[in-house]
A and B are shown apart, each in its own frame.
Chain A
Amino acid sequence: MSLGLYISVPFCRSKCTYCNFASGVFSPGVYPEYVELLRQEIRQTLAWTAHQRIALDAVDSVYFGGGTPTVLSPALVRAIGEELQAHFLWEREVEFTVEAAPGTLDPATLDAFQELGMNRVSLGVQSFVERETRFTGRAYGPAQVASDLQLLRSRGIDNISIDLIAGLAHQDEESWRSSLQGVAEAGVPHASVYMLEIDEDSRLGNELIAGGRRYHAHHVPCEELVVQFYEQACAFLACQGLRQYEISNFAQPGRESLHNERYWRRAPYLGFGLEAHSMLLERTAENAREQDGKRASGTFTGEALEWRWGNSSDLEHYIAALRNDEPAHSGIEQITPVQQLEESLFLGLRRNAGVDLGELSREFGALAVAPLAKRVDELRDAELVTLTGAQLQLTSRGRLLSNEVFERLLLS
């Protein structure tokens, strides 16, 4: 099973009001030390996997996320690249994505990323309507997006994804249509459509909960309208040849994001940097044998070992920990077999392709999967899922209510 790498660059020129990540505006003076510590973290993590005798497969996807990775200087990009090149095995074909914000593309930095192998860009457009982008904290219009696309394409990068957010302040039916139209006109092979997350972690979300007018929360469309925007996006993008393959993701066939698919298919990834998350999965020869024995008798085996950890979301804490040569996470969690099965469901069902219950049965044992049957029946009655043979999939309504579906499939 190949490996994915995630590099977190939590720096932005300005903080968007909808953003609920740890990223933010920090002095560029901190960038070099951050990159140095990130390199140290890579070595530290690999020392741990070696100690645990976890074999790492060759890398076939790299994702620079943020924040805005393109704020880094070419030298810092190359420094990270060197570290990666030095320690990992590489597949021949690697999907190498860099997140970028409209109007932040710097040719020298793009050169550096391209030297490393960048072949895909995810552009955080969010909206093609200037009145809307203004209230997210950045103001740009369709012209800026068009010039960014042209720049990328002139450099041979045509595997581009555009993000949209449904639920921004001042969005209405007409403006949403023009954003969708913007995606169509951009002619990109991939798009992501998110819905504004209403939680305390973003300034706009917090204002929606606590009240206030600073970020224009009082101009945020109602839930019914956001649902309508989402449904409209699914239909519209399909007509443009961008087929929905996950709750928030749409692509031309063959242009799905390999890296994001790892999260939903429980394929291993290592994340480095602030708030980066990692998951490793190991099937050792011993537990594979054991598993074969138990499988025959139908008992629950839990053959694979799965680890997860997540780095601190506090930059000061991240820096202090690594300076002391301590891990930037607060502990490595071993995922129990039941939890692994649950993950397979609540992650796998996010994909339109769904999950194969027969495969889960083979992987986790028929006994472990058996309690699902009744719940699946209820969910089918409620028209939230379909079961075709052993293939379980969400319906379009099931996607909108997916947390309800997933909650009912939790076994523990």
Chain B
Amino acid sequence: MDTQYIRNFSIVAHIDHGKSTLADRLLERTGALTAREMQAQVLDAMDLERERGITIKAHAVRLNYEARNGQTYQLNLIDTPGHVDFSYEVSRSLAACEGALLVVDAAQGVEAQTVANAYLAVNQGLTVVPVINKVDLPSAEVDRVREQIEHVIGLDASDAVLASAKTGLGTDEVLEAVVHRIPPPSGDPAAPLQALLFDSWFDPYRGVIILVKVVQGRLSRGQRIRLMANGQRYQVEMLGVRTPKTVEVETLSAGEAGLMICNIKRVADAQIGDTITDDERPADEPLPGFQEIKPMVFAGLYPVETDRHGELRDALEKLRLNDASFFFEPESSAALGFGFRCGFLGLLHMEIVQERLEREFNLDLIVTAPGVRYRVVLHNGDLVEIDNPAKLPSPGEITKVEEPVITATIISNEESLGGILKLCDEKRGVQKGFEFLGPGRVMLTYELPLNEIVLDFYDRLKSASRGYASLDYHLSGYWDSALVKLDILVNNEPVDALSLIVHRDKAYERGRALAAKMKELIPRQMFEVPIQAAIGGKVIARETVKSIGKNVLAKCYGGDITRKRKLLEKQKEGKKRMKRVGKVEIPQEAFLAVLKVNE
């Protein structure tokens, strides 16, 4: 198709502002799916995505739209995840677009991810079209939201599209705005091929599937291509577009986005951000790629049953096929045996990986408390990176410890300001900005240590603001910090998998809270179990789990032995989900006690 009739666009929004619902309306309106085929939030394909109401993977869907001017346009909608953990996916998807719809909830207004995503789009040179959604709500305040968009983001919102994705109001106006306000792609179809590989995943039947955006030139079935990063050559076996049903096509030319299969065996060979070119007539330069994604949050993953270590490794490898952002390496723990240290983009990502491992691979897992990667400078001048608290060198060897720092943008209502400032202070934050976004709304910028964020910052922020505050953040560097290792002793034995790295000033408080939480989470055993928190051998808190008083069937029963057996088997089954450390049965949740301290 002539590039002047093609539009590539994304929808960006703060979570829950109606991005996926709007995408559904666009699909429905353009006849990509009949009403009968519509299933709420069609593009969220994974069960987990639907259950949690979030989008994890990017999707590209082609829509054919006959505009009011009578011309049919090809609209390529590239859907993006909405959660901060997956913001790297947003920037990738945006690279394949010329424009973006910025969806803002008419009642909630501009939120932290609205700002972050809008800036991402603007900085990548995209045309951003504001869409004010949910205008049908009684609490909608269109003018106030318009003002916020102009004031905070600096976009002209006077001609923002007013829509209600729920009722379908404004759907046509959104499509017209895509056609008339977003520019067509500019690439030359006759130039040497340059196609951006912006996502890839592994399909057990067809191998690696690649999402591409052809920037210039033409991609055809049967063509010999080359991946510019590693120089590997392949033949294009299949090209397709999703409507959202997959439809095979012969070519994808400049400006078009679609799927490609070319017999690549490993996802690692199809690096996201790579440029695909023609093998015989290669482009001179690759397209600008993406920054490599780095995991930010680390935790140990262990099978509850130690003999299933091999199964866990296989499962992690399979999962990694589809999720290049996730990293793992073997580690061992005195308490938990053999397992893996895993790196995630954030807490949500960690939960998703854990849930997929348990659900899709039927594994019972122990996850240790999430932490971050510290830089430790030793007296001998060496710099070591530590992502497992148990491996922190002894204080005598350490010159200094640096911890990763993020820059956080928090938008909230003015009433919650006191609570939020107090929280940021408690979390060792340094204020960098404070701005009123109009009546009653405030935007704060803070530098905060990442290890405070991965614990309970987001939940605490939500409760401090009764759900109003929104948060976005990005890694911004490292700073020196007085950090110490907090050990937890169960039944007088230190349990390495429960160790934490905490700031010295917080150590006492956290130690006490953690010991108290562990007491709650560890069920009573046949003997009394002391739980202690210690820093460098000095015990700072102690709790005791009382011993079981009785567990006995002392009743009249008319010879019903089967029921007695079932009771014992159920009891035994319950213990299978616990990890025996020394003589003590510790349930899975206890290893994440640090996340639950404030519950």
A residues with a Cβ closer than 8 A to B are 6, 8, 20-21, 65, 163, 192-195, 197, 223-224, 226-227, 230, 247-248, 262-263, 269, 271, 275-279, 308, 310, 333, 339, 342-343, 346-347, 382, 384, 399-404, 406-407, 410
Residues of B within 8 A of A384 (CB): 526
Residues of A within 8 A of B39 (CB): none
Other-chain contact of A343, B549, B561, B572 (Cβ < 8 Å): B561
CA distance A315 to B550 in the complex (A): 33
Residues of A within 8 A of B550 (CB): 195, 223, 226-227, 230, 400-401
**Cβ-defined contact, A223 with B558, below 8 A:** no
Residues of A within 8 A of B565 (CB): 339, 342-343, 346
Is B571 located at the chain interface by the 8 A CB criterion? yes
Other-chain contact of A400, B551, B562, B567 (Cβ < 8 Å): B551
CA distance A404 to B550 in the complex (A): 9
Is B527 located at the chain interface by the 8 A CB criterion? yes
Residues of B within 8 A of A399 (CB): 552
**Cβ-defined contact, A407 with B559, below 8 A:** no
Residues of B within 8 A of A8 (CB): 558
Question: Which residue of chain B has the shortest Cβ distance to A197 in the bound complex?
Answer: B555
Question: Which residue of chain A has the shortest Cβ distance to B567 in the bound complex?
Answer: A403
**Cβ-defined contact, A163 with B556, below 8 A:** yes
Is B37 located at the chain interface by the 8 A CB criterion? no
Question: Which residue of chain B has the shortest Cβ distance to A167 in the bound complex?
Answer: B554
Residues of B within 8 A of A224 (CB): 549
Is B285 located at the chain interface by the 8 A CB criterion? no
**Cβ-defined contact, A195 with B558, below 8 A:** no
Residues of B within 8 A of A279 (CB): 559, 561
**Cβ-defined contact, A194 with B551, below 8 A:** no
Question: Which residue of chain B has the shortest Cβ distance to A259 in the bound complex?
Answer: B559
Q: Which of B509-539 contact A (CB under 8 A)?
A: 526-527
**Cβ-defined contact, A193 with B559, below 8 A:** no
CA distance A322 to B367 in the complex (A): 54
Q: A346-B565, A410-B568 are in contact. Are A404 and B559 (CB under 8 A)?
A: no
Q: Which of B549, B550, B553 counts the most A-chain CB atoms under 10 A from its CB?
A: B550
Residues 82-97 of B, flagged 1 when their CB comes within 8 A of A and 0 if not, give: 0000000000000000
Q: A339-B565, A382-B526, A382-B527 are in contact. Are A403 and B571 (CB under 8 A)?
A: yes
**Cβ-defined contact, A277 with B526, below 8 A:** no
Question: Which residue of chain A has the shortest Cβ distance to B551 in the bound complex?
Answer: A403
Question: Which residue of chain B has the shortest Cβ distance to A406 in the bound complex?
Answer: B568
CA distance A342 to B575 in the complex (A): 18
Instruction: Give the size of the chain B interface in residues (CB under 8 angstroms).
Output: 26
Interface of B is mostly: loop
Residues of A within 8 A of B553 (CB): 197, 247, 402-403
Question: Which residue of chain B has the shortest Cβ distance to A193 in the bound complex?
Answer: B554
CA distance A192 to B556 in the complex (A): 9
The 8 closest A-B pairs by CB, nearest first: A277-B559, A195-B554, A403-B551, A400-B550, A248-B554, A223-B549, A194-B555, A277-B560
Q: Which of B551, B557, B561, B564 counts the most A-chain CB atoms under 10 A from its CB?
A: B561
**Cβ-defined contact, A6 with B559, below 8 A:** yes
**Cβ-defined contact, A248 with B527, below 8 A:** no
Q: How far is the CB of A129 from chain B (nearest CB, A)?
A: 20
Is B311 located at the chain interface by the 8 A CB criterion? no
Residues of B within 8 A of A410 (CB): 568-569, 572
Q: How far is the CB of A20 from chain B (nearest CB, A)?
A: 8
Residues of B within 8 A of A197 (CB): 553, 555
Residues of A within 8 A of B552 (CB): 195, 247, 399-403
CA distance A311 to B568 in the complex (A): 21
Is B548 located at the chain interface by the 8 A CB criterion? yes
**Cβ-defined contact, B568 with A277, below 8 A:** no
Q: A197-B555, A248-B554, A410-B569 are in contact. Are A401 and B560 (CB under 8 A)?
A: no
Residues of B within 8 A of A347 (CB): 561, 564
**Cβ-defined contact, A404 with B526, below 8 A:** yes
CA distance A45 to B560 in the complex (A): 18
Sampled A-B contacts (20; CB under 8 Å): A8-B558, A195-B554, A195-B555, A226-B550, A230-B554, A247-B553, A247-B554, A248-B556, A262-B559, A263-B561, A276-B558, A277-B561, A277-B562, A308-B562, A382-B527, A400-B550, A407-B572, A407-B575, A410-B568, A410-B569
Residues of B within 8 A of A262 (CB): 559
CA distance A384 to B550 in the complex (A): 12
Residues of A within 8 A of B563 (CB): 310
CA distance A163 to B572 in the complex (A): 31
Q: How far is the CB of B216 from chain A (nearest CB, A)?
A: 67
**Cβ-defined contact, B551 with A402, below 8 A:** yes
CA distance A223 to B548 in the complex (A): 10
Q: How far is the CB of B309 from chain A (nearest CB, A)?
A: 23
Q: How far is the CB of B197 from chain A (nearest CB, A)?
A: 53
**Cβ-defined contact, B551 with A277, below 8 A:** no
CA distance A343 to B555 in the complex (A): 18
Q: A346-B564, A384-B526 are in contact. Are A275 and B554 (CB under 8 A)?
A: no
Q: How far is the CB of B183 from chain A (nearest CB, A)?
A: 65
Q: How far is the CB of B109 from chain A (nearest CB, A)?
A: 43
Q: How far is the CB of A126 from chain B (nearest CB, A)?
A: 11
Residues of A within 8 A of B568 (CB): 346, 403, 406-407, 410
**Cβ-defined contact, B555 with A271, below 8 A:** no
**Cβ-defined contact, B562 with A310, below 8 A:** yes
**Cβ-defined contact, B560 with A310, below 8 A:** yes
Q: A308-B561, A342-B565, A347-B561 are in contact. Are A404 and B556 (CB under 8 A)?
A: no
- Beyond A227-B550, A279-B559, A404-B548, 8 additional pairs, beta carbon < 8 A: A262-B559, A263-B559, A277-B561, A346-B568, A402-B552, A402-B553, A403-B567, A404-B526
CA distance A321 to B30 in the complex (A): 61
Q: How far is the CB of B265 from chain A (nearest CB, A)?
A: 43
Q: A310-B562, A346-B565, A410-B569 are in contact. Are A400 and B555 (CB under 8 A)?
A: no
**Cβ-defined contact, A269 with B572, below 8 A:** no
CA distance A195 to B553 in the complex (A): 8
Q: Which of B526, B567, B569 counts the most A-chain CB atoms under 10 A from its CB?
A: B526
Question: Which residue of chain B has the shortest Cβ distance to A382 in the bound complex?
Answer: B526
Residues of A within 8 A of B562 (CB): 277, 308, 310, 333
Q: A339-B565, A342-B565, A406-B568 are in contact. Are A401 and B551 (CB under 8 A)?
A: yes
Q: Which of A230, A247, A248, A403 counts the most B-chain CB atoms under 10 A from its CB?
A: A403
Residues of A within 8 A of B557 (CB): 263
Q: How far is the CB of B582 from chain A (nearest CB, A)?
A: 12
Q: How far is the CB of A371 from chain B (nearest CB, A)?
A: 15
Residues of A within 8 A of B551 (CB): 400-404
Q: How far is the CB of B358 from chain A (nearest CB, A)?
A: 25
Question: Which residue of chain B has the shortest Cβ distance to A347 in the bound complex?
Answer: B561
Residues of B within 8 A of A226 (CB): 549-550
**Cβ-defined contact, A401 with B548, below 8 A:** yes
CA distance A384 to B552 in the complex (A): 13
Q: How far is the CB of A321 from chain B (nearest CB, A)?
A: 18
Q: How far is the CB of A110 from chain B (nearest CB, A)?
A: 22
Residues 556-598 of B, flagged 1 when their CB comes within 8 A of A and 0 if not, give: 1111111111011101100100000000000000000000000
CA distance A224 to B547 in the complex (A): 11
CA distance A333 to B563 in the complex (A): 13
CA distance A277 to B559 in the complex (A): 6
CA distance A111 to B575 in the complex (A): 53
Q: How far is the CB of B119 from chain A (nearest CB, A)?
A: 53
**Cβ-defined contact, A65 with B571, below 8 A:** no
Residues of B within 8 A of A248 (CB): 554-556
Question: Which residue of chain A has the shortest Cβ distance to B570 in the bound complex?
Answer: A407
Residues of B within 8 A of A271 (CB): 558-559
Question: Which residue of chain A has the shortest Cβ distance to B572 in the bound complex?
Answer: A407
Question: Which residue of chain B has the shortest Cβ distance to A246 in the bound complex?
Answer: B554
Question: Which residue of chain A has the shortest Cβ distance to B573 in the bound complex?
Answer: A407
Q: How far is the CB of B562 from chain A (nearest CB, A)?
A: 6
Residues of A within 8 A of B575 (CB): 407
Q: How far is the CB of B565 from chain A (nearest CB, A)?
A: 7
